[in-house]
Chain A
Amino acid sequence: MGALSAALGTANGLRSLLPDGLSASRPASSPSSSSAAVRHLTPPSQLSEAELIDGCLAGSRLMQKHLYDRFSGKMMAVCLRYAQTTFEAEDVLQEGFITVFNNLRGFRRECPLEFWIRRIMVNAALRQHRRNAPLVAVSEGEYPQDLAGEEFTLSNYAFEEMLAMVQELAPRYRMVFNLFAIEGYGHKEIGEMMGISEGTSKSQYSRARAILKSKLERLDAHRPNATFRN
């Protein structure tokens, strides 16, 4: 980058290439502006997390866009799991990213940024769930103690098929299943997050699991090389 800077001459020359108005408004004598200019010439994919975060904290819209581009695909997949429709998922994604940018200053950089953003998305999904989910009483019925035992061949199922199965679950089942099976929260934590008892969380999870299992079995039944074993 130093060679590139020398080849282009002064920092003013670099700034003239910048699309971001913030950098262009900085004084020419400032060393930080030239480093920022060089940074802006770096392909977005090569920017480190720290550079992205610092750029966002400095108010650069371009860096915010880079950060969004880097994580929006993964986070959309997360939001789709918690939402019933794509529109709903996009609402959650939008709310989540606004929270991310508004709270980025509080990110302590003790864990990968993706984990932190993912948690924000889950929280946004929970808020959306609280707003939308009807208060349907679900009985804390019995649930099977031994839930494991079956085996599925991973390559037999496509992401889209499994996403559709999860999205078809009732909202509470979907939330509990995602939080427990995918995010790895315990039932006690899930109960606190959703405002339900630990037993209710377990019950809803077992029902969600049973539904998903039957759907997988139905899917397998239509395939010649089904490998489901119970």
Chain B
Amino acid sequence: MLPSETNHTPPSGPPTGDLEHLFRQKFAEAEVPPRASLWEQIDHNLVVGQNETYRRRLLLYRWVAAASVALLVSFGSWFGLRYGGLSGGKPELAARTAASAQPGRASAVGTDAASSAAERLALGQSAAEAATAAASSTMSSSGMAANNGALAAGSASPQAAGAVLADAAVAASQRAAGFAARLGALAGAEAPRAGRTGTGSGSADFRSGVARSAGAAGGPAQLALASGPMLAAASQSSQSAGYSAALAELDARLAALQSGLSYGRPALLPQQPLVASLTSAPGQPADAEQKETAGRPRRWRLLGSYAASAYSPNADFSRPGASATYSSRNAPVGSPDSYGVAAAEYRQHLRAGLGQRAALTASYTMNKHWTLLTGLEAAEQRASSRTSYGFLDSHHAAVEAGAANMDPDIIQYRAPVSHATYYRYRTAGLPVGVRYGTAKPGVSVYAKVGAVVNVLLNSRAELEGAPEATKVYNLASASSPYRRVQLAARAGAGARYQPANARWSVSVGPTAEAGLNTLNADPNQSVLRRSRPYSVGLEASVEFGGKSNSLLTP
């Protein structure tokens, strides 16, 4: 019962048609101008919506920046404590000592002061306090320590905090300045709010302080362009300054909007998308950035994901003909049976360990539901077993190493106590896959399958109580018993959440991976009887980019 498409126009006379045709013809080209003020309302709503988007985006950037700094500092602290030992545990004191010992070298002092600030941040202190510490330690070199550090640490006055931050940036140069500016921007997350609810002047001064610190950071950065080694650091510093300046500007505009000064007055609102200024470094043409953004395919998105799983290497080092089992407990070392017994014991006690995987993935949206995924990933897997023979892998090297120190009377028999063995494998991989799901905001589910090509970069096997037996193989090791290139199939499913009008989403769900070839390089079993590694775990990912709403149901 579709409406009639035929025109029932008779050969002569005025055109006629059925009811549907009549209405369709009359309504097809009709135009009714809306009232003149409607555009102003639409324009006003667009401006309000745009500012709301920027506000949310700014909030997200702050969270991401804070999380990144926290992660970096946490990892740095852990790395320092783990590998630096106690001698490296007093960087703050070292920085202060260096500052007082070399008062003339401002740049070195600034760098050390920034390091000191970073260490303080690791100890759980606030960003503002850390930045202030950088300022105060720098000032102490010229005898102007005063009590600015204590003043700003209390955060009683945003104005004072802004001034101290600015002084910190002016005093420090190059990387130190950029670092202080960045910390200043982070500290600004709370301080401007305090100023806004208070007198308001403090907030403005704080922003000017941050802006000054940004400008000061940009100055030495440009000077440093002449020196080659510092080029990277300088550009980073300059960019950091640009971010800070843009953040301060954006926050000021939002504050003005919220206070009603610019409400409904488009002339006072940003004529240029603030995101462009937020993402472009000073001195870089905004056009180039806009072109780059416009040229980027809208169907591409970026995912960062992390997976933790139980990983089993499931390796079988047994050889054909070696029928010995773990039950043949008295096989003497060096006998033909000893290898088989040790390999069987290895498998008997093989336990899954923690497998961790971090991946950076680009996704391409093919249509409404299907998405292609590919990227790069790095993974570390651990496993453990036990041995009475010092068996670590197929080389059986630890047996000989241990046997050489044994009493000749007992060398013929296995050691009475079994020791734990620990294995760690580090890989880099190239995953490809396809995901089925929806791109609509809200909560949805997804499922994905794919494969990954992994390169075993490094493997390490440790024998409990015998550090000299530790065996490490890297990519270049010709004697590695492990396969260098491994293939695996992967599947996962879970839930996805995307806030309304957001261009990011989070996903979490179980994932499983099954090896398509064995972990050990020379399996002795037939293809169908080989045991291959596998893992089961949870994966969480964050996806950025794409469009906020579905095209078909705007």
Contacts and interface: CB of A to CB of B under 8 A. Distances in A.
B551 A181 contact: no
A111 B258 CA distance: 40
B19 A162 contact: no
A181 B3 contact: yes
A80 interface: yes
A209 interface: yes
Given A72-B34, A98-B45, A99-B554, A184 B3 contact: yes
B38 A94 contact: yes
B522 interface: no
Size bracket, chain A contacts: 35 or more
Contact of A77 (B14, B32, B501, B548): B32
Given A98-B49, A152-B17, A181-B23, A72 B33 contact: yes
B68 interface: no
Q: Determine the main DSSP class of A at the interface with B.
A: helix
Contact of A103 (B8, B27, B29, B549): B549
Given A98-B46, A120-B554, A157-B22, A73 B15 contact: no
B528 interface: no
B41 A153 contact: no
Interface stretch (A9-17, A20-28, A41-49): A20-28
B15 A106 contact: no
B222 interface: no
Contact of A147 (B1, B38, B41): B1
Interface string A55-70: 0011101001100110
B31 A77 contact: yes
B19 A21 contact: no
B24 interface: yes
Given A68-B42, A90-B35, A155 B14 contact: yes
Given A26-B287, A152-B18, A103 B45 contact: no
Contacts of A76: 31-34
Given A120-B554, A150-B18, A151-B8, A182 B24 contact: yes
A147 to B, nearest CB: 7
Contact of A68 (B16, B35, B39): B39
Interface stretch (B196-204, B246-254, B266-274, B467-475): B266-274
B551 A151 contact: no
Interface in A192-227: 202, 209, 212-213, 216, 227
Contacts of B4: 148
Interface residues of B, number: 53
Contacts of B287: 26-27, 30, 32-33
A132 B413 CA distance: 88
Contacts of B2: 184, 186
B286 interface: yes
A65 B20 CA distance: 34
Interface stretch (B103-111, B141-149, B227-235, B290-298): B290-298
A209 B272 CA distance: 51
A153 B14 contact: yes
Given A22-B271, A108-B551, A181 B14 contact: no
Contacts of A59: 272-273
B487 to A, nearest CB: 37
Given A76-B31, A162-B27, A187-B1, 13 more contacts: A21-B271, A69-B39, A74-B30, A90-B35, A100-B554, A102-B554, A103-B547, A106-B550, A148-B18, A150-B18, A153-B15, A154-B25, A159-B27
14 contacts: A27-B286, A72-B38, A73-B31, A93-B34, A102-B549, A105-B547, A123-B553, A147-B1, A151-B17, A151-B18, A155-B14, A156-B14, A181-B23, A184-B3
Interface of A: 20-22, 25-27, 30, 32-33, 57-59, 61, 64-65, 68-69, 72-74, 76-78, 80-81, 90, 93-94, 97-103, 105-108, 120, 123, 147-157, 159, 162-163, 166, 180-182, 184, 186-187, 202, 209, 212-213, 216, 227
List 8 tightest A-B contacts by C-beta distance, closest first. A73-B31, A21-B271, A77-B30, A106-B551, A103-B554, A151-B16, A181-B20, A106-B547
